């Protein structure tokens, strides 16, 4: 701590900020690490693990196709339809997503689900059993004569004596003029994403102060299952370059970096997994590329509110002051980010290279969280299936924010991990890996359809997402 304070004083006297974020020497320099230049002089470290099984499967498929073609040529027939470069990976359930989003001038938001998808959420009890909740509607059709729900504070009525006339009907409410109306009408194909599918890629995005190393358990787990995984270090984090200009760390600058990474590694079906601030970037990509993003996982990402930096935050202090306070900030992050603060958690923090950023980068990241477009309407427009994972002991993000997110999203499942905190993927890796894998394999149940129009309802099919709690070893 004395060294940190001394460096901070020298930093204040010299007027320069020390850059603590430099390319790090990795213990596995050749294990899937790449350096991608997203812009001139702006280089991001990316861990990209492409399973070897794809080459093996390609050779096997080519051999099978050649055998079928030889047999067909010998018989003088054309090859069958299912052998003409068709893949079973495209099979899935087609769901009609239709909703009307109305914003009124008083800030009220009314969402009407008109398609196949009905909003629902999944909660897991402490004993591990699934408890499907009833359908949650933010607010249904505007101004009906019959209220959809009873009034929580009903006005007592005085009974009239017999023979008197019936009371006059209540006055009609004046119809308000909407400020903005958004209509969504699309069809989405939802299918199971297995590690053997060559058109599936998993993208992992960390948050402020993190690095791709916080996903080590998830990257190793899913790469062993045959998934192609991609995890970048944000600018100024991990082993990526750290520009000494605040504009390099705004939301839009970082979002363009991730857009370049996504376009470089994207497959036909992509699953985005974000943590904390990284959830906002996943939301941005899912909104920008609805046909390429197949599913999204949001881990402790907070509510569906527009990002805006806090003017009264400690991170608004000068960088040299933050440099002096860095040991206290690291201790505070350890206490708030983990449910327990033991030697194991300290080691996880060190191994994950978390909160190892320069004060300048930390200050610029916190000040650059300005994204006014990412409001409730923006999130309500998403039609991609989303899994919300929340650590119950999280001191940064309250569970009410994720519950609000589950209400706004069209197609969301909420999972609360009782023993987890903000860094739940590091604290409970087995539980998180199991949750994510079951969500990747989930698809709507085709066996249950509407009798009238053969539609598929999420409320009828959520039981197919069976979350199994791993047995402690």
The residues that are catalytic are 276, 394, 422
Q: Which of 255, 256, 288, 246 is nearest to 270 (CA)?
A: 288
Cα atoms found within 13 Å of the Cα of residue 236, Cβ hemisphere only: 26
Q: Render 197-258 in DSSP notation, one character per residue.
A: -TTEEEEEE--TT--GGGGHHHHHHHHHTT-EEEEEPPTTSTTS---S-GGGGSHHHHHHHH
Q: What CA–CA distance (Å, rounded) separates 107 from 104?
A: 5
Collapsed DSSP state (helix, strand, coil) of residue 401: helix
Residue 149 is given by DSSP the state S
Q: Where are the alpha helices (DSSP H) in 266-368?
A: 278-288, 319-337, 343-351, 359-367
- Distance between start and end Cα atoms, the chain: 38
Phi, psi of 178 (to 5 degrees): -70, 145
CB-based burial, 309-348: b 16+ in 10 Å, e otherwise: eeeeeebeeebbebbbbbeebbeebbeebbbeeeeebeeb
Q: What CA–CA distance (Å, rounded) separates 83 from 64?
A: 9
Residue 10 is given by DSSP the state H
Residue 165: other Cβ atoms inside 10 A: 6
Residue 179: other Cβ atoms inside 10 A: 12
Collapsed DSSP state (helix, strand, coil) of residue 390: strand
In total, the chain counts a number of residues equal to 473
- Token pair of 391 as six digits: 């650590």
Q: Which of 92, 57, 118, 466 is nearest to 294 (CA)?
A: 92
Phi, psi of 290 (to 5 degrees): -65, -25
With beta carbons less than 8 A apart as the criterion, state whether 261 and 36 touch: yes
- Token pair of 197 as six digits: 């599918």
């Amino acid at each position: 701590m004395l060294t940190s304070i001394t460096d901070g004083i020298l930093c204040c006297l010299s007027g320069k900020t020390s850059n603590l974020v430099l390319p790090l020497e990795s213990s596995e320099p050749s294990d899937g690490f790449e350096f991608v230049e997203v812009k001139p002089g702006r280089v991001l470290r990316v861990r990209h693990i492409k399973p070897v099984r794809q080459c093996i499967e390609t050779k096997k498929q080519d051999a099978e196709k050649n055998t079928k073609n030889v047999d067909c040529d010998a018989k003088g027939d054309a090859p069958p339809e299912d052998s003409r470069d068709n893949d079973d990976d495209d099979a899935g359930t087609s769901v009609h997503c239709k909703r009307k989003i109305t914003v009124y001038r008083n800030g009220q938001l009314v969402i009407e689900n008109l398609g196949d998808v009905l909003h629902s959420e999944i909660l897991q009890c402490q004993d591990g059993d699934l408890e499907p909740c009833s359908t949650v509607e933010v607010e249904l059709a505007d101004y009906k004569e019959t209220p959809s729900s009873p009034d929580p504070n009903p006005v007592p009525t005085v009974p009239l004596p017999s023979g008197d006339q019936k009371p006059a009907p209540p006055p009609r409410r004046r119809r308000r003029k909407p400020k903005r109306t958004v209509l969504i009408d699309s069809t989405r194909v939802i299918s199971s994403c297995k590690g053997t599918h060559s058109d599936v890629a998993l993208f992992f995005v960390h948050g402020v102060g993190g690095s791709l190393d916080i996903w080590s358990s998830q990257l190793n787990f899913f790469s062993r299952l045959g998934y192609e995984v991609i995890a970048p270090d944000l600018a100024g984090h991990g082993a990526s370059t750290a520009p000494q200009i605040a504009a390099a760390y705004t939301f839009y600058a970082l979002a363009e970096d991730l857009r370049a990474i996504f376009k470089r590694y994207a497959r036909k079906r992509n699953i985005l997994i974000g943590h904390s601030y990284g959830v906002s970037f996943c939301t941005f990509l899912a909104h920008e590329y609805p046909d390429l993003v197949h599913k999204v996982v949001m881990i402790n990402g907070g509510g569906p509110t527009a990002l805006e930096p806090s003017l009264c935050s400690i991170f608004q202090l000068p960088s040299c002051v933050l440099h002096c306070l860095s040991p206290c900030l690291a201790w505070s992050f350890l206490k708030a980010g983990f449910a327990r603060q033991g030697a194991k958690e300290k080691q996880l923090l060190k191994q994950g290279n978390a909160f190892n950023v320069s004060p300048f980068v930390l200050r610029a990241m916190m000040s650059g969280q300005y994204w006014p477009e990412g409001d409730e309407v923006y999130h309500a427009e998403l039609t991609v299936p989303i899994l919300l994972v929340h650590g119950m002991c999280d001191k940064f993000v309250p569970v009410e924010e994720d519950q609000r997110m589950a209400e706004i999203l069209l197609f969301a499942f909420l999972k609360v991990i009782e023993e987890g905190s903000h860094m739940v993927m590091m604290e409970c890796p087995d539980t998180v890996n199991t949750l994510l894998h079951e969500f990747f394999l989930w698809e709507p149940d085709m066996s249950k359809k509407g009798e009238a129009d053969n539609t598929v309802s999420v409320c009828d099919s959520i039981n197919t997402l069976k979350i199994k709690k791993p047995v402690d070893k």
